[in-house]
Amino acid sequence: MKHTLVARVQDEPGVLNRVSSLFRRRSFNIDSLTVGGSETKDFSRMTIVVDTARTPARLVEENLRKLIPIAEVRDVTDMPTVDRDLALIRVRCDASARAEVTQLAEIFRGKIVDVAVDSVIVEVTGDSGKVDGLVDLLRPRGILEMVRTGKVAMVRGTASVAAAS
Amino acid sequence: MILTGAQILWESLMKEGVDLVFGYPGGCILPAYDAMLDYPVRHVLVRHEQGAAHMADGYARASGKVGVAVATSGPGATNLTTGIANAMLDSIPTVFITGQVPSHLLGSDAFQETDVTGITLPITKHNCIVRTPDELARAMKEAFAIARGGRPGPVLVDICKDALQKKAEFVWPDSVSLPGLRAFEAPSPKDLERAADLIGQAERPLILAGHGVIKSGAMQALQQFAERTHTPVALTLLGLGGFPASHPLSLGMMGMHGEAYVNQAIQQADLLLAFGMRFDDRVTGNLKTYAPHAKKVHVEIDRSEIGKNVAVDVGIAADLRTTIEALNAIVPEYRHNAWLKTIGAGQQETRGRDIIHQPDSGNLYAAHVIHDLWQATEGNAIVVTDVGQHQMWEAQYYPHERPRSLITSGGLGTMGFALPAAIGAKMARPDAEVWVVAGDGGFQMTQCELATLQQEQLDIKIAVVNNGYLGMVRQWQEFFYDKRYAATPMLSPDFVKLAEAYGIDGKRVTKRAEVIPTVQAARTSGAATLIDFRVVKEEAVYPMVPAGANLDAMIRRPVTEEVQA
């Protein structure tokens, strides 16, 4: 089972290292981890997707909470959230196939952001399932390179993670 | 007030009430040592930085205050790491200060540069690096707040040499605001009610009391609770002293080398009240078969310990003393005479097997040494043990009535802990009678600190339980490796002469009759004494739960004809 944890952390050197060191030493399995800016200047925001086959999500959460620079952690798995993952996919595609690849991308609200002689880069944003869907469709054509940001998440409605702390 | 970083360091330590540090100087920490001479602080020069870390640890355990150790960069800092890890596993409030290369040289592999915050990340509660003097006061204030807050632990502050040399305004923060440092939470009335309900339903309840009893000062509350609810108390190794050993409800130590009747009681119980302990593998044995009939209530300051090893019915993440006091206010009185009788029967059977009750065979057994030491000191000493067989015999044969009277390395099991930790303990409580109990193996790991002991003129007594083996490892080889004694027979120096070389009285005891007189002579000499107890070489600690086995599947002491008679 995958759980999504959202954390607000002090923006200071080494904080990512503290989180990853905790996961490594306790054998918590990270699926994806993203870190970036937040609404507050000195705080960053992390979205961590963990595989909880071995460790209950609550224990992962409680261990994160023990790290001094972590202001708040929330398991948002069972909450209504907006989830986004962004992928850049370089797919094999000569001139004759461009129209079809473009059409496929559009179905997933993706777009072509770069064109080369025998390939294009497709950009797609959405929840992980949607991105996976497009990747599956493009794979038979030959995916030459791909990068995904990993999931970021935000709870719908008014309850912010910051307000919870 | 404009001061150098080095002065800010000592000003900060003064603000925290520190008047004693353990350390070893070197290049990068030198500015701090120079400034130290102008401050009213006692510095104990150790012989190896591991000793400084254990001394700070022993000081903290004996006093309840934060222990402080200082070392230089590179090897000075890496030598601290065993002691830091030891303080981490046993949650000991300590602050470690290390020198670091000047900030412009960081990352250049400069002389004696090591990534100390990187190395100590997983073995500290928190750590930080200070690159400029204006960050230092806040870093120190935070370090002490983190070390003693919540579940205590070690904090390391790594200070660049130029941050010690440069000047800044000294501003001592009024308070710290750290997002991850949370205030104590009170137990919720709902959880207390649920716990009280389970206590009311139980017929065979058992308290498992750990280190948290001592740390939260819950001794009185615990005793009141146990008496009120008529519930027997089993203790973890680090919990010993948290409940008086002579109390009729005290069962003594549980776990791998706990008495068989204690572990059997855990397996039979219908309610376990785990107070300030963490279900370590050394106390549970096989988790799959652990306490199968028992509901579990777990009170523990660290939320992440609840449900980590053992699933519980009620988990209360709160200060233990507050919680027990709140329970005392709501639980009625109960009597569990039938249950106590059942446990008592097991107790009698165990007593019959005990080596203490066997006739004198002319041999000197470690158990006798510890027992006689207890008698001679009337149970009033602070005993600081090393790790191994002697440690378990101490736990079995030196009953502790008061908290902080046993100082021992639990979670990490660090050989070499005893002598330096005893130095820290003696400095915390100079009026107390402090005894080191160590094996011949562990003692040799840090015996260089005999020089520190002597330089500081400390009246510490040392009992070396000398069996010529790494005894506990030999015991595992005897039980589980067909008596193939790989690398466990050990040659030791003449400990009497060794002590004398350091100017310390040395004595040797080879017969049981000599134990008490020699201990009494040491007690009244007014100076440090080392006694080399030459005990039976191949003796095992009984009973024993093999690692990972069911808690009641114990290896018992073989019943001899003498015992049966």
How far apart CA A19 and CA B391 sit, in angstroms, is: 36
> Structural domain of residue A13, as residue ranges?
2-79
CATH code for the domain of A120: 3.30.70.1150
The shortest CB-CB distance from B126 to any of A63, A68, A71 is to A68
Half-sphere exposure at residue B432, Cβ-oriented, CA atoms within 13 angstroms:
24
Residue A160 lies in a domain: no
A111 and A75 within one domain: no
A108 and A91 within one domain: yes
A145 and A107 within one domain: yes
| Residue in A5, A17, A59, A66 to test binding to B, most B beta-carbons within 10 Å | A66
Residue A121 lies in a domain: yes
Contact check, Cβ <8 Å, A65/B304: yes
Domain boundary among A57, A79, A101: A79
Query: String of b and e for B49-75 (b: at least 16 CB within 10 Å)?
Result: bbbbbbbbbbbbbbbbbbbbbbbbbbe
Contact check, Cβ <8 Å, B308/A59: yes
Domain boundary among A64, A79, A94: A79
Contact B265, B346 (CB under 8 A): yes
CA distances in angstroms from B138 to A73, A85, B135, B516, listed in the order given: 25, 39, 6, 52
Residue A163 lies in a domain: no
The shortest CB-CB distance from B307 to any of A56, A69, A165 is to A56
Contact B388, B65 (CB under 8 A): no
Structure token pair of residue B111: 């002389």
Sort out which chain A residues have CB atoms less than 8 A from B307's CB and list them. Answer: 56, 58-59
Contact check, Cβ <8 Å, B180/A65: yes
Sort out which chain A residues have CB atoms less than 8 A from B118's CB and list them. Answer: 17
| Residue in A8, A45, A62 to test binding to B, most B beta-carbons within 10 Å | A62
**Parallel, antiparallel or unpaired: strands B529-534 and B505-509:** parallel
The shortest CB-CB distance from A69 to any of B118, B180, B302 is to B180
Residue of B nearest to A61 (CA): B304
Contact B139, B176 (CB under 8 A): no
- ipTM of the complex in this document: 0.91
Sort out which chain B residues have CB atoms less than 8 A from A59's CB and list them. Answer: 304, 307-308
Structure token pair of residue B146: 């983190």
A99 and A121 within one domain: yes
A142 and A113 within one domain: yes
A122 and A73 within one domain: no
The catalytic residue positions of B are: 49, 111-112, 161, 472
Residue A90 lies in a domain: yes
Which residues are CB-contacts of B315 (< 8 A; sequence separation ≥ 6)?
A: B191, B297, B298, B300, B306, B307
Domain boundary among A54, A79, A104: A79
Amino acid at B371: H
A102 and A65 within one domain: no
Q: How many domains does chain A have?
A: 2
Distance from CA of A9 to the nearest CA of B (A): 8
The shortest CB-CB distance from A10 to any of B117, B118, B179 is to B179
A43 and A15 within one domain: yes
A74 and A90 within one domain: no
CATH code for the domain of A36: 3.30.70.260
- Note down pLDDT in tens along chain B; length 565 residues: 999 999 999 999 999 999 999 999 999 999 999 999 999 999 999 999 999 999 999 999 999 999 999 999 999 999 999 999 999 999 999 999 999 999 999 999 999 999 999 999 999 999 999 999 999 999 999 999 999 999 999 999 999 999 999 999 999 999 998 888 877 778 999 999 999 999 999 999 999 999 999 999 999 999 999 999 999 999 999 999 999 999 999 999 999 999 999 999 999 999 999 999 999 999 999 999 999 999 999 999 999 999 999 999 999 999 999 999 999 999 999 999 999 999 999 888 887 778 887 777 889 999 999 999 999 999 999 999 999 999 999 999 999 999 999 999 999 999 999 999 999 999 999 999 999 999 999 999 999 999 999 999 999 999 999 999 999 999 999 999 999 999 999 999 999 999 999 999 999 999 999 999 999 999 999 999 999 999 999 999 999 999 999 998 999 987 755 444 3
Residue A58 lies in a domain: yes
Which pLDDT belongs to residue B340? 97
Residue A66 lies in a domain: yes
A90 and A29 within one domain: no
Backbone angles phi, psi at A9, to 5 degrees: -130, 150
Residue A28 lies in a domain: yes
Distance from CA of A163 to the nearest CA of B (A): 14
A142 and A92 within one domain: yes
Contact B400, B428 (CB under 8 A): no
The shortest CB-CB distance from B180 to any of A21, A58, A67 is to A67
DSSP A96: G
Which pLDDT belongs to residue A55? 87
Residue B292: CB atoms within 10 Å: 10
Which pLDDT belongs to residue A165? 44
Residues of A with CB under 8 A from a CB of B: 8, 10, 14, 17-18, 21, 25, 56, 58-59, 62-63, 65-72, 165
What domains does chain B contain, in order, with CATH numbers?
Answer: 2-169 (3.40.50.970), 189-346 (3.40.50.1220), 366-534 (3.40.50.970)
Contact check, Cβ <8 Å, A62/B303: yes
Distance from CA of B75 to the nearest CA of A (A): 23
pLDDT block averages, 10 residues each, chain A of length 165: 95 93 94 93 95 92 95 94 96 95 96 96 96 96 96 86 53
At B475 the three-state DSSP class reads helix
Can you give the pTM of this predicted structure? 0.95
| One-letter-per-residue 3-state SS of B91-142 | CCCEEEEEEECCHHHCCCCCCCCCCHHHHHHHHCCEEEEECCHHHHHHHHHH
The sign one gets for the Cα dihedral B250, B251, B256, B259 is positive
- CA-wise closest residue to B241 among B425, B431, B95, B513: B425
A69 and A18 within one domain: yes
Distance from CA of B326 to the nearest CA of A (A): 25
Contact check, Cβ <8 Å, B304/A17: no
pLDDT in tens, A138-157: 999 999 999 999 999 999 98
Which residues are CB-contacts of B35 (< 8 A; sequence separation ≥ 6)?
A: B4, B6, B7, B9, B10, B164
Residue A161 lies in a domain: no
Contact check, Cβ <8 Å, A71/B180: yes
Distance from CA of A61 to the nearest CA of B (A): 8
